A = this chain, B = another copy of it.
Amino acid sequence: MDDAGERDRTAVREANDRFYRAFESLDLAEMDQIWAHGDEVACVHPGWNRLHGWEEVRRSWAAIFQSTSEMRFTITDVRAEVRGDLAWVHCTENIISETRGRLSITAILATNVFERHPGGWRVVHHHASHILAPRDPEPEAA
């Protein structure tokens, strides 16, 4: 990969980090800065149905932030690929959270799609899900 490609990839990884810092901040204004604001935006929170368009996605963050007193991520297994003005990232979100006084640690798999905007890379798609079975080609036989 050439230097420009490597720079793009680094910029996307930084945007991915900013997304999780914004999440930890529990501050909707931070999320406003990192997401695109169009109809093309979609989001799947772990176990939820898919949300479409920034308005609906933004409301979901407002609800999550309202019910969460603290959220800390350690992001591992990050891979970022860039093609022109679009990039996809996948990573594992290792989450320590306290919701209504209950502490929990969870590993979540995330796919994040970023688009290059004039001000930097913006999230256009977030899909996060739980691991329900051990890594095995035939989970039901495990």
Q: Which residues of A contact B (CB under 8 A)?
A: 40, 42, 44, 46-50, 52, 59-60, 63-64, 67, 77, 79, 81, 83-86, 88, 90, 92, 99, 109, 111, 113, 115, 124-125, 127, 129-141
The closest CB in chain B to the CB of A102 belongs to B140
Residues from chain B with a CB closer than 8 A to the CB of A133 are: 47-48
Number of copies of chain A assembled together: 2
Q: Shortest beta-carbon distance, A59 to chain B, in Å?
A: 7
Q: Say yes or no: A47-B137 contact (C-beta < 8 A), given A85-B83, A125-B90.
A: no
Q: Say yes or no: A111-B127 contact (C-beta < 8 A), given A85-B84, A88-B88, A139-B48.
A: yes
Residues from chain B with a CB closer than 8 A to the CB of A44 are: 90, 109, 111, 129
**Partner among B49, B129, B132 whose Cβ is within 8 Å of the Cβ of A127:** B129
